[in-house]
Structure 1
Amino acid sequence: MVRYAKEHKQVTRQRIIDKAGQRFKQDGIDGSGISTLMSDAGLTNGAFYAHFASKDDLVAHVVADQLRTQVAVYDTLRPGRQGLEDLIRQYLSPEHRDHPGTGCPSAALLDEIGRCGDETKQAYMEGAQDILEELAARLTPEDPQSARGKAVGLYTMMVGTLQLSRALSDRKCADQILEQGIENGLAYIR
């Protein structure tokens, strides 16, 4: 029996989390079976339980990882409100709408997360709080807590706008929804 180094196990586990994150956002949590997730990661089904206790355990880890990754991207934005403008434009872009597998986990999975167990909801709550803190700090750097409500409004507007645009079959109408969302978001942060 071949023993792998601890680092190999961690790298493999992260690969499963990364691939599952893409698959969940593309096909949904319920639409993604363990065999498909493991195949995406280049592994056999039997390897799954060496890394996760259950699919619910994987989902919680994926949600936490996806939200951490989203917050890390905010560090690449310009400082302050300028960065928020960039974020609004990027988030409400046709490219983001058309590629849910590489985008925001909230817009892709929020309805399913609401039906998940407490571990996943807790992971989502912690990640969402980090996002809201980042938005609030950009809105009012001198007193982020005072902008918490405004951060909630901005984030929910962006997520809802993206979800609505994705749900429409008329491409022109879907694009108009995104454009109006950008306009609303920019007005909101001024």
Structure 2
Amino acid sequence: MPRYDAQHKAETRRRIIDTASARIKRDGIDGSGVATLMSDAGLTNGAFYAHFPSKSDLVANVLADQLRIQHERLSTLQPGRPAIEEYVREYLSPYHRDHPESGCPNAALLDEVCRCDDAVRQSYTEGMQAIVNGIATNLSPANPAGARATALGLFTILIATLQLARAVSDPALSDEILAAGVSNALTLVDAGPAQS
């Protein structure tokens, strides 16, 4: 059996995380077995354990990675309402609603994360807090702690709105939910702490 160097192993691990993130966000944690996840990555089941001790460890890594990407996106925004409005509109867009595999793990997986083990929930908690802190910093760069409640509220509106818009069977109602979510999110931003 060939031995692979550290770079090859890191690239393979990255491929597993990337392909697993799309599958897990589309089909759910419980709906994504190890065999399917490894097949998506073009690997055998046996190769899985060379990279992750358990499916739970893979899920924790997928969440950490996906939430890090979201946090990095927030970090590139200019402070203030225009950038937050763009972020809100992008998050609550029909495209994001219709493509969970390429979107945020929060709305796609939140209902399952609460039933996962402590390692997955800890990974989620750390990533979620980084995003909320990023939103708070954008809302009030001089006083992010003062904007934390608004940031938590905004984060909650975004996730709940997207989950509800995905859950209903009526496309017009789903669009109405997204539009209401945008309006409610921006009302909260405008009523929040003074921006600086």
Same fold? TM cut 0.5: yes
User: 1:7 maps to which residue?
Assistant: 7
User: 2:44 maps to which residue?
Assistant: 44
Q: Which runs of 5+ in 1 are unaligned?
A: none
Q: Which amino acid aligns with 1:84?
A: I
Alignment of 1:84-103 (within 5 A): 84-103=84-103
Q: Which amino acid aligns with 1:151?
A: A
User: 2:175 maps to which residue?
Assistant: 175
Partners of 1:89 and 1:76 in 2: CA distance: 16
**What percent of counterpart residues are identical?**
57
Aligned residues: 190
Q: TM-score, normalised by structure 1?
A: 0.97
Q: TM-score, normalised by structure 2?
A: 0.94
Superposed CA deviations along residues 102-155 of structure 1, whole A, max 9, x for unmatched, are 111010000100000000010001000100000001111110001111110000
Partners of 2:151 and 2:77 in 1: CA distance: 17
Deviation at 1:2, TM superposition (A): 1.6
Q: Which amino acid aligns with 1:168?
A: V
Q: Which runs of 5+ in 2 are unaligned?
A: 191-196
Partners of 2:31 and 2:165 in 1: CA distance: 21
Superposed CA deviations along residues 75-109 of structure 1, whole A, max 9, x for unmatched, are 34343322111110000000000000011101000
**CA contact under 8 A between 1:77 and 1:86: conserved in structure 2?**
no
Partners of 2:27 and 2:77 in 1: CA distance: 29
User: 1:189 maps to which residue?
Assistant: 189
Q: Which amino acid aligns with 1:113?
A: V
Deviation at 1:10, TM superposition (A): 0.6
Q: Which amino acid aligns with 1:71?
A: H
Partners of 1:83 and 1:120 in 2: CA distance: 31
Say if 2:157 is the partner of 1:151. Answer: no
**CA contact under 8 A between 1:113 and 1:120: conserved in structure 2?**
yes
- Secondary structure of 1:50's counterpart equals coil
Alignment of 1:95-114 (within 5 A): 95-114=95-114
User: 1:16 maps to which residue?
Assistant: 16
Partners of 2:128 and 2:57 in 1: CA distance: 19
**Root-mean-square deviation over aligned CA pairs:** 0.9
Partners of 2:27 and 2:168 in 1: CA distance: 17
